[in-house]
C-alpha cells in the first residue's frame, strides 16, 4: 500500500529542501545557471528565458502569498478498485509516485491568498503518474470547489495532466462527470472559477473541468489538446499545422481566453481576483 498511511505524513508543506547541487545546466542554451536564481525566477532560465518544469509545489509557491499556504485537501489516498496490474501493480506505481514527488496524490489542494485575496487553489503534479485524474484527484477538485463555496471565494485550478488515470478504469472516466457536477454548483453560487492550463492539459481533464472555467488562462508554452498526436496520426493521415495544440492554436480557435507568460501569471490572477472580489462601490 501507499507510503502515506496516516494524516501526519500526509499534509503538504512548502518547506524548501536543501539543494544537493548549486548549479544546473539549461537544456535550451547550454549555460550553467545558479539553481537558486532559477527557482527565484519561476524556474525560467535567467540566460535564455526557457521555462523549466515546475513541480506542483514550485508552481503554487510561485503564485501565492508567502506563508499563506494551507493544505485543505481531504485525507484520502488512491484505492486500487480494479486490482490493476500492467508491468507493475498499480499500488506500486502509486508508491513510487508518492516517493518521487513527496505528495499523496497528483494534486495539491490549498487555501491560500494571492496578493492578500483568499482563494482555494488546486495544482496538478505532472510527475505523479502524468498528473492523471483518478478518484482522488476528482474528489479533491470537488472538495476544493465546495471549500470555495464555504469560504465564499474564487476557485483556481492549475492543470497539468495527461488525462484520466487508466489504472482506475471507469472510475477515472467518471471523474469527468463528478467534477462537472460540482462545477455547476459553484456556478450557481456565482463564484468565479479560473482554469489555468499549463503543459500539458489534455484528454479527460481538458474535456471536463479544465474547459469549464469562467475564465481560461493558458500559460505560455502550454500544450492543450484532447487527443494525443500519436493517436491522431494513427487514426487519421492528416497533416497537422505547425502550431497544433499549442497555446497560440488554442487562442486562435477560441478555446481559451488568454495566454500569459509564467512570470506574469501571479499578477494576472491578482487582477482577476481583484475584479471579482472587491465590493461594488454602489
225 binds other proteins (CB under 8 A): yes
Comparison of 6 and 15: residue with beta carbon closer to other proteins: 6
Q: Which of 96, 115, 226, 270 binds other proteins (CB under 8 A)?
A: 226
127 binds, among other proteins, Zn ion, none (CB under 5 to 8 A by kind): none
175 binds other proteins (CB under 8 A): yes
Pick out residues in 109-168 that bind other proteins (CB under 8 A): 134-136, 138-139, 142, 164-168
Whole-number Å distance between alpha carbons of 145 and 154: 9
Q: How far is the CB of 132 from Zn ion (least distance, A)?
A: 30
27 binds other proteins (CB under 8 A): no
Residue range at the interface with other proteins (CB under 8 A); choices 18-26, 50-58, 61-69, 71-79: 71-79
Comparison of 15 and 253: residue with beta carbon closer to other proteins: 253
275 binds other proteins (CB under 8 A): yes
Whole-number Å distance between alpha carbons of 267 and 252: 23
10 binds other proteins (CB under 8 A): yes
Q: Which of 31, 71, 257, 263 binds other proteins (CB under 8 A)?
A: 257
Sign of the torsion angle spanned by Cα atoms 249, 255, 257, 261: negative
Instruction: Provide DSSP, 183-233.
Output: HHHHHHTT--EEEEEEEEEEHHHHTTGGGG-SEEEEETT-BEESS-HHHHH
86 binds other proteins (CB under 8 A): yes
Comparison of 17 and 279: residue with beta carbon closer to other proteins: 279
Integer angstrom CA distances of residue 164 from 9, 49, 56, 126, 180: 26, 31, 18, 12, 14
Number of CB atoms found within 10 A of residue 150's CB: 10
Q: Which of 143, 145, 110 is nearest to 124 (CA)?
A: 110
User: What cell does 213 get?
Assistant: 472555467
Q: How far is the CB of 168 from other proteins (least distance, A)?
A: 7
Q: How far is the CB of 127 from Zn ion (least distance, A)?
A: 21
Integer angstrom CA distances of residue 146 from 32, 50, 153, 173: 45, 36, 10, 21
Amino acid at each position: 500500500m501507499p507510503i502515506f498511511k496516516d494524516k501526519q505524513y500526509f499534509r503538504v508543506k512548502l518547506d524548501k529542501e536543501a539543494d544537493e547541487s548549486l548549479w544546473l545546466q539549461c537544456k535550451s542554451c547550454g549555460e550553467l545557471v545558479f539553481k537558486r536564481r532559477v527557482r527565484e525566477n519561476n524556474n525560467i532560465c535567467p540566460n535564455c528565458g526557457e521555462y523549466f518544469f515546475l513541480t506542483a509545489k514550485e508552481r503554487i509557491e510561485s503564485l501565492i502569498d508567502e506563508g499563506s499556504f494551507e493544505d485543505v485537501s481531504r485525507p484520502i489516498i488512491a484505492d486500487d478498485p480494479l486490482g490493476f496490474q500492467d508491468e507493475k501493480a498499480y499500488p506500486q506505481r502509486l508508491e513510487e509516485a508518492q516517493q518521487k514527488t513527496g505528495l499523496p496524490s497528483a494534486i495539491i489542494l490549498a487555501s491560500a491568498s494571492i496578493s492578500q485575496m483568499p482563494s482555494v487553489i488546486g495544482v496538478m503534479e505532472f510527475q505523479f503518474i502524468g498528473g492523471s485524474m483518478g478518484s482522488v484527484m476528482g474528489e479533491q477538485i470537488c472538495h476544493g470547489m465546495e471549500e470555495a463555496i464555504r469560504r465564499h471565494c474564487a476557485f483556481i485550478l492549475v492543470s497539468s495532466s495527461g488525462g484520466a488515470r487508466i489504472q482506475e478504469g471507469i472510475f477515472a472516466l467518471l471523474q469527468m462527470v463528478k467534477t462537472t457536477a460540482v462545477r455547476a454548483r459553484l456556478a450557481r453560487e456565482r463564484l468565479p472559477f479560473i482554469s489555468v492550463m499549463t503543459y500539458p492539459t489534455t484528454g479527460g481533464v481538458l474535456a471536463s473541468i479544465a474547459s469549464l472555467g469562467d475564465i481560461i488562462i493558458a500559460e505560455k508554452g502550454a500544450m492543450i489538446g484532447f487527443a494525443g498526436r500519436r493517436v491522431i496520426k494513427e487514426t487519421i493521415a492528416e497533416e497537422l499545422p505547425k502550431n497544433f495544440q499549442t497555446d497560440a492554436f488554442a487562442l486562435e480557435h477560441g478555446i481559451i481566453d488568454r495566454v500569459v507568460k509564467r512570470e506574469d501569471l501571479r499578477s494576472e490572477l491578482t487582477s482577476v481576483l481583484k475584479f471579482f472580489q472587491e465590493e461594488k462601490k454602489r
